[in-house]
Amino acid sequence: MVISNFRKILSRITQTLYINSLKAAIKQQDLSKTYLQLEKIVPDISEQYSCFKLDSEYLITNIRGMHSFQMSLTNKVISLLDKKSLTIVDIGDSSGTHIQYIKNIHKDKGIRCLSVNLDESAVNKIKSKGLEAIVSRAEDLCAHSINADIFLSFEMLEHLTDPIKFLHQLSEKTSSEYFVITVPFIRKSRVALHHIRKNNKNMMMAENTHIYEFSIDDWKLIFKHSGWDIVFEKVYYQYPKNNILWFTRFLWTLNDYEGFYGVILKRDNTWSSLYKDW
C-alpha cells in the first residue's frame, strides 16, 4: 500500500512537471497564440487517435503543443504559395483535426483538403465530420493519381517501412510544390520497434509502431536523396531553455521525446537524379 501510494504521488509530480514544462516551452517558442487559436477551433481533441484516447491534461497539452508547431509550419508554407485555390493532402491523418484548423484559419482561400489513412475507422471518423478522406497506405498514394500543391505528414514517416521510396515517389510522380513534415527529434538514429525492445507481444498497428527514428542530419540526407530540398527547418522542444524547467529535458529524453523536427520541403531532384537504381 505504501509503495502504491508513493508511486501515485510520484506520478502526479512527474505529470505536473511535464505540463509546466510544455506550457513554458510553448510560450518561449511563441506558440501560445496559435495554441489558443487551435483550442477555439477544435475544443475537443480527445479522439485524435484510433488506438488511445487523450484523457488527461498532460496528453492534451502535449498533443496541442505539437499541433501548434505543426500548424505554424503549415501556415508558413501556405503563405509561400500565392494562389487563390490550393489542394492540401494530409497523409496519415487520424482524425481530420488539422484540416479543420486549416479550413478555419484560411477560410478566405479556396482550399480543398484530402486526408489519407490506411485505417478505415480513422477515415470514417474524418468523413463523419464532412471532410474528404480515402483509405490508402502512404506508400500506395501515387496509385490513386492524387496531386497536391502541399502534402502534409505529421509524425508519420517514422511509421513507414520504406520512407525513402515513399518520399521519392511523391517527388517524381506528383506535381506537389511543397511537403511539410514533422518527425520525432532524435540525436542519434536508431531502429525503433519499441514493442520488441520491451518484449511487448500485444498486436500492434502502424499508428502506434515506430520503425525508424533518424537524427536531423540523417533525415536531411534522406530528403535530398529522395528528391527534396529543405526550404525551412525548425526544432520544437518540449521543454523551455534558459528556464529552471530546462532539467525536464532529461525526463523527456528518458520517457518520450525532447521535441520534434519540422521541415518545409520543395521538390528538387539534384541528388535523386544521380541515383540510377530507383
Domain CATH code at residue 18:
3.40.50.150
Residue 36: which domain range?
A: 2-274
Per-residue pLDDT of the chain (278 residues; tens, 9 = 90+): 555 655 666 678 788 999 999 999 999 999 999 999 999 999 999 999 888 899 999 999 999 999 999 999 999 999 998 787 899 999 999 999 999 999 999 998 889 999 999 999 999 999 999 999 999 999 888 888 888 999 999 999 999 999 999 999 999 999 899 999 999 999 999 998 889 988 998 888 888 899 999 999 999 999 999 999 999 999 999 999 989 999 999 999 999 999 999 999 999 999 999 999 99
**Domains held by the chain: number:** 1
* This model's pTM is above 0.75: yes
Per-residue 3-state assignment (H helix, E strand, C coil) for the chain: CHHHHHHHHHHHHHHHHHHHHHHHHHHHCCCHHHHHHHHHHCCCCCCCCCCCCCCCHHHHHHHHHHHHHHHHHHHHHHHHCCCCEEEEEEECCCCCHHHHHHHHHCCCCEEEEEEEECCHHHHHHHHCCCCCEEECCHHHHHHHCCCCCEEEEECCHHHCCCHHHHHHHHHHHCCCCEEEEEEECECCCEECCHHHHCCCCCCCCHHHCCCEECEHHHHHHHHHHCCEEEEEEEEEECCCCCCHHHHHHHHHHHHCCCEEEEEEEEECCCCHHHCCCC
